[in-house]
Amino acid sequence: MNKLGLLALLCVLGATACSHLREPTDEQLAALLRSERADPADANALLDGNAIDCLRAWSGDKTLLQGLPVRVAGEDGQKECRGKLEGWVADAGRNPDKFSFEDVTAPKVVRRAIDLAESRRAAALADPSKRQVPAALGGASAAKAPQPLAPPDPTVNLGVAGTRLAEAEALCLQAQQAAATPEHKQIKRFADYCSGNLRNLRTAMEQAARAGQSAERLDQMAASADNIANVARNALAEGSK
């Protein structure tokens, strides 16, 4: 092989090596994407819906890009969310194994992150201690615990609309947990409201899916979940100030 051919081969091999993406485990992915309000020691902490939407926005995958919330769908939103997510990637506490932004935005990894977030949300729904206000903190109001969120029907596929609904449910759970603490008690009214509303919405969406209604119709219904998610984010942000 002449020198030019050898050089070309080395360039190809070098490019392949440099382009190889590392794939985090579920535990590593969960540590990176855990909610800011979650206890780092909680092995089943809920994942941050905004971070996962950002992964979807930068995945370059057409399916993952469908139904993206407005806040990350545009160029400005993508840049803003990437800045925050890159801060998490650089955080040794969240990402001790130094996975790159490109590693975690690979479509295969993003899909795993979505599945992991959904499984943790479902586990939280199944755990009464995580969906009700603890009596020790709730006082007299503990007897009027929020209506529990509805567990998803595993036989019904809501598609992207289901991801939006699941994000709203996860934020509602965070609001319920926050409302149990004195510094966040002002959001209790919202926490009580969102659980019943989202329970009814999931029931309606799953019934629509069983009836064969289109993905476009499910997306329209999911707009209500987007509204609740936005209110939850604002309420949680205000409560943390």
Q: Residues 79-123: pLDDT tens digits? A: 999 999 999 999 999 999 999 999 999 999 999 998 888 777 766
Angle at the Cα of 45 from the Cα atoms of 42 and 50, rounded to 5 degrees: 145
| C-alpha Rg value of the chain to the nearest Å | 20
Pull the structure tokens for residue 194.
């969102």
- pLDDT-based confidence at residue 125 (cuts at 50, 70, 90): low
Give yes or no for a contact between 232 and 165, defined as CB atoms under 8 angstroms apart.
Answer: no
**Considering only 8-12, 103-107, 200-204, 211-215, which range has the smallest mean pLDDT?**
8-12
Residues 204, 188: Cα–Cα separation, whole Å: 25
Amino acid present at 55: L
What's the whole-model pTM score?
Answer: 0.56
pLDDT for the residue 137 = 33
Give yes or no for a contact between 21 and 103, defined as CB atoms under 8 angstroms apart.
Answer: yes
At residue 131, does pLDDT exceed 60?
Answer: no
Give yes or no for a contact between 85 and 140, defined as CB atoms under 8 angstroms apart.
Answer: no
Q: Match 């149990």 to its residue by tokens.
A: 180
Residues 24, 26: Cα–Cα separation, whole Å: 7
CA distances from 110 to 33, 64, 169 (A): 11, 8, 19
